[in-house]
Amino acid sequence: MRLFVAIEFDEKTKSKMIDVQDQLRAAVLHGNFSRPENLHLTLAFLGEVPEERVGGIIRAMDRISSRAFDAQFSRIGQFRSERDSLWWIGMRENPCLTAMRAALTEYLTEAGYQYDKKRFRPHITIARQVVLASRPEIKIKPFGTRVSSISLMLSERIDGKLKYTELYRKKLEG
């Protein structure tokens, strides 16, 4: 099973992300835009995990004692490759996020799980494989949301479409 741990967002927050996505859409020649139900922020990408090892991930998530926190979004950015680029909305640096993510990766490591070790750049992917037609005029009005849980997500490709399913939700305290 292809798994990752992520922050999921409520509809109001996602509609603000979709506003940004729509501004980008207006300027692309090509782009693979994330569907609203797929908008999330990945905390740890685990990759393929055998079904019998899912329980250990849940136990690692349950060890986290971090509190709920307010997150802010105020910028967009790109990860470029030679051919195209991935566009994202960034979550502002936040000591609560950093501490919670550090606890998660520590407990996953202690339990013997591997996760993607690239430098953590908290982001929500809004579009992949973007090729621009014109310079996008994107105005992002900073917005915020309360993060009060984290989710274990299953990633599947069904009929060519990426589908994410929440397998477990860990509530943060407070």
User: Which spans of this chain sit near ligand 2AM (rule: CB under 6 A)?
Assistant: 4, 42, 45, 116, 125, 155
Q: Find the angle CA(10)-CA(29)-CA(23) to the nearest 5 degrees.
A: 35
Tell me the closest approach of the beta carbon of residue 44 to ligand 2AM, in angstroms: 8
Closer CB to ligand 2AM, 46 or 60, in the complex: 46
Task: Using the minimum distance from each CB to ligand 2AM, give the nearer residue, 117 or 174.
Answer: 117
Q: Which of 41, 32, 153, 161 is nearest to 87 (CA)?
A: 32
Q: Pairing between strand 149-158 and 2-8?
A: antiparallel
Q: How far is the CB of 173 from ligand 2AM (least distance, A)?
A: 25
- Chain mean position to CA 29: 25
Query: Between residues 58 and 79, which has the closer beta carbon with respect to ligand 2AM?
Result: 79
Minimum CB separation of residue 125 from ligand 2AM in Å reads: 3
Cβ partners under 8 Å of residue 43, min gap 6? 4, 5, 6, 7, 100, 101, 104, 150
User: In the complex with ligand 2AM, which residue's Cβ is closer, 3 or 64?
Assistant: 3
Residue 139 DSSP symbol: -
State in angstroms the smallest separation of the CB of 54 from ligand 2AM: 16
Of 145, 140, 143, the C-alpha closest to 10 is 145
